[in-house]
């Protein structure tokens, strides 16, 4: 590794598994002190145990502002003021999310609560922590928030579109304070979140067929752009959407 994040202090949500774990691990290997934040504290601790150095695990429920505030306070105590926050935690309720006429209100509320409200709270406390110093906030979006890819996932698609809008607004509001805010849009990426697709041969083949590069993504495919946005190399990048979707949204 090139240690492009040497001296940085970062917090990543949803870091017990999937993209969050991959990104947090890569940040640590690039020289950052990393806080692995997740509601699944044992999972976050297992991820940290595989790393040398100063990575730490904290419990954080992104839907609970007290929990988010406590996690930030613990991060400050354990690694110091944060330079980078990745708002990545999310849910996709396969078998429950549906076209709008068939969507149960509770499924809508749960999805919005975790994905959009959870991102809002993560970003809110990240910005509070970075004011006066600057920093980089990175949110995980989705092709479903950009095109009709998620037509059967009304709640999920809406939550991700909301994230894209939130990022643009926060980026504009805090650019003068040196706080950069960007969205990374992974395509179909095989993680524990999408076993309903990856475990069904027909569904998997259909979504891969809509990906011009002809394969599913992996968490490793997302790490590089996250490292770039966390680093000083991205000093002039804010309010942008960075697509790492195998060309899915280019069609």
Instruction: Please list the active-site residues.
Output: 156
- Taking Cα atoms as reference points, which of 211, 176, 166, 221 lies closest to residue 23? 221
Q: Collect contacts of 67-71 with beta carbons under 8 A, ≥24 apart.
A: 68/121, 68/122, 68/124, 68/125, 69/125, 71/11, 71/35, 71/37
Which CA distances in Å does 175 have to 77, 194, 211? 27, 35, 34
- Taking Cα atoms as reference points, which of 89, 185, 173, 78 lies closest to residue 130? 173
CA pair distance 57, 78, nearest whole angstrom: 10
């Amino acid at each position: 590794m090139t240690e492009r994040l040497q001296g940085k202090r970062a917090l990543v949500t949803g870091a017990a598994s999937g993209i969050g774990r991959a990104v947090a691990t890569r940040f640590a290997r690039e020289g950052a002190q990393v806080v692995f934040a997740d509601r699944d504290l044992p999972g976050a601790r297992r991820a940290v145990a595989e790393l040398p150095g100063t990575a730490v695990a904290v419990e954080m429920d992104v839907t609970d502002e007290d929990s988010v505030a406590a996690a930030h306070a613990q991060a400050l105590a354990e690694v110091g003021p944060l330079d980078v926050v990745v708002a990545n935690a999310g849910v996709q309720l396969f078998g429950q999310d549906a076209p709008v006429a068939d969507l149960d209100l509770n499924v809508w509320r749960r999805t919005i609560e975790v994905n959009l409200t959870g991102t809002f709270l993560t970003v809110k406390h990240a910005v509070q922590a970075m004011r006066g110093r600057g920093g980089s906030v990175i949110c995980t979006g989705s092709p479903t928030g950009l095109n009709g890819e998620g037509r059967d996932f009304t709640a999920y698609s809406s939550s991700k579109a909301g994230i894209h809008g939130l990022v643009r607004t926060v980026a504009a509001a805090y650019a003068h304070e040196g706080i950069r805010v960007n969205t990374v849009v992974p395509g179909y990426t095989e993680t524990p979140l999408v076993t309903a697709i990856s475990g069904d041969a027909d569904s998997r083949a259909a979504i891969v067929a809509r990906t011009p590069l002809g394969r599913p993504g992996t968490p490793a495919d997302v790490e590089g752009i996250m490292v770039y946005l966390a680093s000083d190399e991205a000093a002039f990048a804010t309010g942008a959407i960075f697509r790492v979707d195998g060309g899915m949204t280019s069609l």
